[in-house]
Amino acid sequence: MTKTTVRDWLKKPIVGILLAIAIGFAVGAIVLLIAGYNPGEAYGALFRGVFSKPKYFAQVTIKSTPIILTGISFVVAFKSGLFNIGSEGQYITGALVAAIVGSQINLPPVIHFIVVILAAMVAAGLVGALVGFLKSRFHVHEVISCVMINWIMLYLSNYMITLPWFKKAGTEASVEALESSWSVVANNWKTSEEGLQQLAGSDSPWAEALLKTDLNYGILIAVIVAIGIYLLYKNTVKGYELRAVGINPHAAKLAGISVDKSIVTSMAISAAIAGLAGALTITGVMPHRVTQLSMHEGYGFAGISVALIGGGSPIGSIFSGIFYSMLTYGSASIQSETGAAGEIMDIVIGVIIYLIAISSLIIMLLNRKSAKAGKAAKNG
Amino acid sequence: MDATYAVEMKSISKYFGGFCALDNVDLCVQKGEIHAILGENGAGKTTLMNILYGFYEADSGEVWTNGQKREIKTPKDAISLGIGMVHQHFMLVETYTVLQNIILGDEHIKGPGVIDYKKAKAEIKKLAEDYHFNIDLDAKIQDITVGMQQRVEIIKALYRGADILILDEPTSVLTPQEIEELIDIMHNMVQNVKTIIIITHKLAEIMKSADTCTVIRRGKNIDKVAVANTCEKDLAELMVGRAVEFTVEKQECRRGSALLQIDGLVVEDDRKIKKVDGLSLELFEGEILGIAGVDGNGQKELFEAVTSLRKAKSGSIRIDGQDIQNTSPRKTFEAGISVIPEDRQKSGLVLDFTIAENMVLEKVQNAPFSKHGILDWKVIRQNADKLTKEYDVRPDGSAGMRAGALSGGNQQKAIIAREISNDGRVLVAVQPTRGLDVGAIEFVHNAILSERDKGKGVLLISLELDEVLKLSDRVAVIYNGRIVNIIDAKDADEKRIGLLMAGGEGA
Ligand SMILES: Nc1ncnc2c1ncn2[C@@H]1O[C@H](COP(=O)(O)OP(=O)(O)OP(=O)(O)O)[C@@H](O)[C@H]1O
Ligand SMILES: [Mg+2]
């Protein structure tokens, strides 16, 4: 009977996730040992590299912002039974539109910022809506159109950067978004005479976190989006319909919920959030512009990991996004302090993702094990 | 100990969270007998069988088969002990063919990774012939009727070499003719020393087929009786705990004006075969029009066209003169059509939603369930509490439960509660009492009759002739996609309708 309770306990998603994380670290430790490093030291370095200074943690939050959002983006599509692997392309769409609107239009601060992110979300949302439309109207699988859009957007962005009105002379990048569109924390004060003086004079680590990083309001917006999406699904008719379509499209359809419309809506919301991620990178982080890319930056795929580790929930994605970026940011300290390759963290993350993805399989294995014991009893 | 018992389950208890689904239940099944399990919806029959089949683990108690104590932890264990199960809700892969579904998980291998379809097919063909199962092995599951799907499940179990076959409500989707055949098959099987455990709500079937019957109520043993020494009435009383009326009190039909008019309707299925072929009928206010027919004669397509799930080729469907053909399910709902679909799990419920959420599936966007797009959970919950109480959807507090955690019959009751509470002008009911116990059937029949007495029109599409004859004011017989005759209930008898259903002319 205790076996049953252990198994029931293991079936709770949060337990599975924490277990996967623990095993991920254990596997990482083994690899480190084999490679001749002390895992305790390496993980110590990781920990210090994240928590020993406010500046470090500020960096972690800054880097977590886009992946929290692409994570939520994945969650939204998934709730309606869709697999949005196009958040990379939607991210690029958002960044590109943000850079254009941020650099070509002149508006007062705050208002400029709002216009920039709205424009980026609308543009990316339309891209997502197109994917949804292709699926509902012509049965084009969303994965296929998403992959195509990822590449189309990459090349479109690269092309735009070559245009004379947008290219910054002498660089492989676009012109910067104007300061009025930035979302950097205390930007005016930070760059003013007295601000600079005050910060330089202070040896507070908090001042350092403010001055030496791109600390910006993006993380707050990501949290607001997470809560908003959570409430959308919990408390609104739209959210109800989107979930119903995701779980049982047959019943939803018979009940008068338009499956086609829901697919388009879900993809549009999902993509708009990925676009927001791109826009916030432009408004919040140096150098506030888009650059030529030879390949994707990986925000989309990181988002899938974040969504998975976050248990498929928007709120969970906040925590898993921060966790993910702690590992990737802290891995640099492992490298500098112990000499072990920082890629070790990729292994840890990889193991965690695999374990979560196959956690149902683990439960099955547990079942199988007790079944074997049963068979032995039968034969004996 | 006693080797003549094929299955002994001793003091089985099972809890779901704090809810006790089975409380020290015993079951002894003799080798070579047909053993029926009878109990109300939610009594715990399926749960008990799922424990025997290794789907669930009992919290306490022992399972013995053929005189030995066993630990059955997975269905695989059960299969290796020669236990097969056909579930109440089928477990088939919709996009696979019949053949693929049957061999799934037990493939004959020709070489590494190569399935020997030929051999499997020959074997299955023989099985199907032995048991007179008329199935097309190459059809896809999604294209065949529920009745056919069930045969696939039975063959699947036999193909795996089951000696002890568990049938969970196998007959609820079969035509009377098919039920006769199934009973013959069952008798055939026990003559070959197979043992059958059958769950059914149809008392007549128990009387006709079973040797012994175990009765459970709310998770407890009530009695075990030899079928030869009992009768339907006693069984019903044992099961429900009170006397059950088998006949319904029917008031005189007060027919009003025409409500639903279908004219020259033509509907094709996915394979472009004309399934409804020039069908016309009229449904009036205050009447129940029964559609009787053998499965596969266009009932499904008729239903889909009326609800706008499927586009009709030609003809017209009007409600109150308003054209609703080829609009959308929402439009037909708004025009006043409520539907009880054939397949509760596929089309009736969102199993991962709570009952409360399911109860507002069609009307969540309307006040009072939501205002300005924001759900009012309190109202949604109250609505479900009220309906589950009124319609006796068990267990207590089911409103907050996931629909998938309810027993099959209680899922069905939830759908019926929802659709009747929609208060539309037309109720289209397909097999509305499928899987309900006799007590619940009595209740639902009365509910449908009272809708009719309120002036609603009820279109009853059912394969169960009994039910059609009992409830209908007029009976329309569907054959090859057409209504071949409409008979007043007073003049309808089973024989005449049966002849018409089989395509006989001029009956
Ligand atoms: N997975 C589950 N989680 C929670 N409760 C469950 C679960 N499965 C079954 N139950 C509960 O256990 C009780 C018995 O269910 P079961 O399916 O065995 O009933 P049944 O006798 O087969 O009824 P029916 O005739 O309606 O099929 C029901 O009250 C049901 O709600
Ligand atoms: Mg059942």
DSSP assignment string, A215-232: -BTHHHHHHHHHHHHHHH
Return the biggest CA–CA distance within chain B: 71
**Run of H or E including B156:** helix B146-159
Cα–Cα distance between B340 and B206 in angstroms, integer? Answer: 27
Cα–Cα distance between B383 and B340 in angstroms, integer? Answer: 19
| Same domain (yes/no): A353, A257 | no
Of the candidate ranges A85-94, A253-262, A338-347, B469-478, the one whose mean pLDDT is the lowest: A338-347
Examine the pLDDT at A379 and tell me if it is beyond 50.
no
| Same domain (yes/no): A105, A215 | yes
pLDDT at res. B45: 95
| Same domain (yes/no): A258, A141 | yes
Helix then strand count (H, E) for chain B reads: 16, 24
pLDDT at res. A374: 36
Q: What is the per-residue pLDDT across A269-300, written as a single tens digit (0 to 9) for each?
A: 999 999 999 999 999 998 999 999 888 899 99
pLDDT at res. B312: 95
**Run of H or E including B357:** helix B355-358
Examine the pLDDT at A2 and tell me if it is beyond 80.
no
| Same domain (yes/no): A164, A243 | yes
Examine the pLDDT at B265 and tell me if it is beyond 90.
yes
Question: A371 in contact with B at a CB cutoff of 8 Å?
Answer: yes
Cα–Cα distance between B174 and A25 in angstroms, integer? Answer: 56
| Same domain (yes/no): A128, A178 | yes
Class of domain B250-336+424-507: alpha beta
pLDDT at res. B172: 76
Q: What is the per-residue pLDDT across B253-263, written as a single tens digit (0 to 9) for each?
A: 888 999 999 99
Examine the pLDDT at B453 and tell me if it is beyond 90.
yes
Cα–Cα distances (Å) from B278 to A32, A58, B267, in that order, read 75, 72, 9
A47 in a structural domain: no
| Same domain (yes/no): A350, A293 | no
Count of structural domains within chain A: 2
What mean pLDDT value characterizes chain A? 88
- Cβ contact B73–A370 (<8 Å): yes
Examine the pLDDT at B242 and tell me if it is beyond 90.
no
Of the candidate ranges A208-212, A239-243, B15-19, B22-26, the one whose mean pLDDT is the lowest: A208-212
Look up the ipTM and state it: 0.83
A9: buried, middle or exposed (CB in 10 Å: 19+, 13-18, 0-12)?
exposed
pLDDT band at A238 (very low <50, low <70, confident <90, very high): very high
A88 in a structural domain: yes
pLDDT band at A364 (very low <50, low <70, confident <90, very high): low
Q: Which of B307, B320, B210, B315 is nearest to B264 (CA)?
A: B315
CATH number for A164: 1.10.3470
Q: Separation of B352 CA from ligand 1 center, angstroms? A: 15
Q: Which residues neighbour B334 within 8 Å (Cβ) at sequence distance 6 or greater?
A: A256
Q: Separation of B438 CA from ligand 1 center, angstroms? A: 17
pLDDT at res. A362: 60
Q: Separation of B407 CA from ligand 1 center, angstroms? A: 4
Q: Do domains B5-240 and B250-336+424-507 have the same CATH topology?
A: yes
Question: B481 in contact with A at a CB cutoff of 8 Å?
Answer: no
A109 in a structural domain: yes
Of A241, A256, A367, the CB nearest to B73: A367
pLDDT at res. A375: 35
DSSP H helices, chain A, are 2-10, 13-34, 39-51, 54-79, 87-104, 111-138, 142-162, 187-191, 193-201, 205-211, 218-235, 237-247, 249-254, 259-284, 299-309, 314-338, 344-357, 359-379
Cα–Cα distance between B477 and B480 in angstroms, integer? Answer: 10
- Provide the sign of the torsion angle of the four alpha carbons B455, B460, B464, B469, taken in this order: positive
Q: Indicate which ligand has the atom closest to the C-alpha of B414.
A: 1
Taking residue B375's Cβ as centre, other Cβ atoms within 10 Å add up to: 21
Q: Indicate which ligand has the atom closest to the C-alpha of B43.
A: 1
Q: Which two tokens stand for residue A294?
A: 């030879």
Peptide bond into B432 cis (omega under 30): no
pLDDT at res. B478: 94
Contact yes or no for B456/B426 (Cβ under 8 A): yes
Q: In terms of residue numbers, what domain contains A4?
A: 1-37+340-380
pLDDT at res. A192: 77
- Chain center to CA of B329: 23
Q: Which residue has its alpha carbon closest to ligand 1 atom 19?
A: B42
| Same domain (yes/no): A92, A66 | yes
Mean pLDDT, residues B145-172: 85
Q: Which two tokens stand for residue A312?
A: 């498929």
| Same domain (yes/no): A309, A370 | no
| Same domain (yes/no): A21, A119 | no
A120 in a structural domain: yes
- In this structure, the strands spanning B288-292 and B457-461 are parallel
Mean pLDDT, residues B215-236: 93
pLDDT at res. B246: 76
| Same domain (yes/no): A11, A145 | no
Class of domain B5-240: alpha beta
Q: Which amino acid is at A195?
A: G
Question: Residues for chain A: how many in total?
Answer: 380
Q: What is the per-residue pLDDT across B54-89, written as a single tens digit (0 to 9) for each?
A: 989 999 999 999 999 999 998 889 999 999 998 877
Cα–Cα distance between B414 and B359 in angstroms, integer? Answer: 7
Q: What is the per-residue pLDDT across B304-325, written as a single tens digit (0 to 9) for each?
A: 999 999 999 999 999 988 999 9
**Substitution candidate for ligand 1 out of B407, B415, B436 with most atoms within 8 A of CB:** B407
Return the biggest CA–CA distance within chain A: 86
Share of chain B above pLDDT 90, in %: 62
Contact yes or no for B262/B281 (Cβ under 8 A): yes
pLDDT band at A30 (very low <50, low <70, confident <90, very high): very high
Tell me the HSE value of B451 on the side-chain side, using a 13 A CA sphere. Answer: 30
pLDDT band at B108 (very low <50, low <70, confident <90, very high): low
| Same domain (yes/no): A144, A154 | yes
Listing DSSP states for A83-96 in one string gives: ----HHHHHHHHHH
Of the candidate ranges A84-88, A144-148, B57-61, B461-465, the one whose mean pLDDT is the lowest: B461-465
Backbone angles phi, psi at A25, to 5 degrees: -65, -35
Mean pLDDT, residues B154-162: 87
Collect all residues of chain B within an 8 Å Cβ-Cβ radius of residue A253: 309, 329
Taking residue B501's Cβ as centre, other Cβ atoms within 10 Å add up to: 22
pLDDT at res. B8: 95
Position with higher pLDDT, A64 vs B295: A64
| Same domain (yes/no): A239, A182 | yes
In this structure, the residues whose C-beta lies within 6 A of any atom of ligand 1 are B 16, 19, 21, 39, 41-47, 88, 394-395, 405-410
Q: Which two tokens stand for residue A339?
A: 């000499």
Sequence ranges of the domains in chain B: 5-240, 250-336+424-507, 342-423
Interface of B with A in 388-407 (CB under 8 A): none
Mean pLDDT, residues B353-377: 96
Position with higher pLDDT, B118 vs B421: B421
Q: Separation of B45 CA from ligand 2 center, angstroms? A: 6
